[in-house]
Amino acid sequence: MSDRAYALFEEQQQARGIDLAFVKKSLSELKIETPSWGYGNSGTRFKVFKQTGVPRNPFEKFEDAAQVHQLTGLCPSVAIHIPWDKVEDYSKLRSHAESLGLTIGAVNPNLFQEEEYMLGSVTHTDPAIRRKAIDHLLECVEIARLTGSRDISLWLADGTNYPGQGHLRKRKAWMLEAFEEVYKALDPSMRMLIEYKFFEPAFYHTDLADWGMAYNYALKLGSQAQVLVDTGHHPQGTNIEHIVALLIDEQKLGGFHFNSRKYADDDLIVGSVNPYELFLIFYQIQLAAAEGNDALRDTVNSIAYMIDQSHNIEPKIPAMLRSVLNVQTQYAKALLIHHDEVRQAQEKGDVLGAEDAVRRAFEFDVTPLLHAVREEQGLPRDPMKAYLESGYADRIAARGKDGVSW
Ligand code: PSV
Ligand code: MN
Q: Concatenated DSSP letters for 190-216? A: -EEEEE--SSSS-SSEETT-SHHHHHH
CA distances for 246 relative to 41, 75, 219, 260, angstroms: 36, 27, 14, 21
Handedness of CA 198, 199, 202, 204 (dihedral sign): positive
Residue 79 CA: which ligand is closest?
1
> Given the CA of residue 108, which atom of ligand 1 is nearest to it?
8
Our measurement of the distance from residue 340's CA atom to the centroid of its chain's CA atoms, rounded to an integer in Å, reads 29
Q: How far is the CA of 108 from the centre of ligand 1 (A)?
A: 9
The whole-number pLDDT of residue 1 equals 47
With the most atoms of ligand 1 within 8 angstroms of its CB, the residue from 37, 117, 151, 155 to mutate is 155
Q: What Rg, from alpha-carbon coordinates, does the chain have? A: 22
Q: Which residues of the chain have pLDDT under 70?
A: 1-2
Residue with the smallest CA separation from ligand 1 atom 2 is: 265
Q: How far is the CA of 191 from the centre of ligand 2 (A)?
A: 16
Q: Where are the domains of the chain?
A: 3-109+231-399
Ligand 1 pocket by C-beta < 6 Å: which residues?
37, 108, 155, 195, 197, 230, 257, 265, 308
Judge whether 256 and 262 are in contact, CB under 8 Å. Answer: no
Q: How far is the CA of 265 from the centre of ligand 2 (A)?
A: 9
Judge whether 218 and 205 are in contact, CB under 8 Å. Answer: no
Residue with the smallest CA separation from ligand 1 atom 6 is: 155
Q: How far is the CA of 396 from the centre of ligand 1 (A)?
A: 27
- Give the environment of ion ligand 2: residues with CB less than 5 A: 230, 257, 308
- Report whether the peptide linkage leading into residue 35 is cis, meaning its omega lies within 30 degrees of zero: no
For 262-295, write each residue's pLDDT tens digit. 999 999 999 999 999 999 999 999 999 999 899 9
Q: How far is the CA of 340 from the centre of ligand 2 (A)?
A: 35
> Given the CA of residue 259, which atom of ligand 1 is nearest to it?
4
Burial class (CB in 10 A: 0-12, 13-18, 19+), 102: buried
Q: How far, in Å, CA of 80 to CA of 86, rounded? A: 9
> Given the CA of residue 265, which atom of ligand 1 is nearest to it?
2
The whole-number pLDDT of residue 114 equals 96
Judge whether 256 and 295 are in contact, CB under 8 Å. Answer: no
Q: How far is the CA of 397 from the centre of ligand 1 (A)?
A: 28
Q: How far is the CA of 365 from the centre of ligand 1 (A)?
A: 33
> Given the CA of residue 310, which atom of ligand 1 is nearest to it?
11
β-strand pairing of 205-206 with 159-160: antiparallel
Architecture, CATH, for domain 3-109+231-399: Alpha-Beta Barrel (3.20)
The whole-number pLDDT of residue 2 equals 64
> Given the CA of residue 230, which atom of ligand 1 is nearest to it?
4
> Given the CA of residue 232, which atom of ligand 1 is nearest to it?
4
CA distances for 96 relative to 30, 41, 89, 104, 152, angstroms: 24, 22, 11, 10, 21
β-strand pairing of 191-195 with 225-230: parallel
The whole-number pLDDT of residue 406 equals 82
Residue with the smallest CA separation from ligand 1 atom 7 is: 155
Handedness of CA 175, 178, 181, 186 (dihedral sign): negative
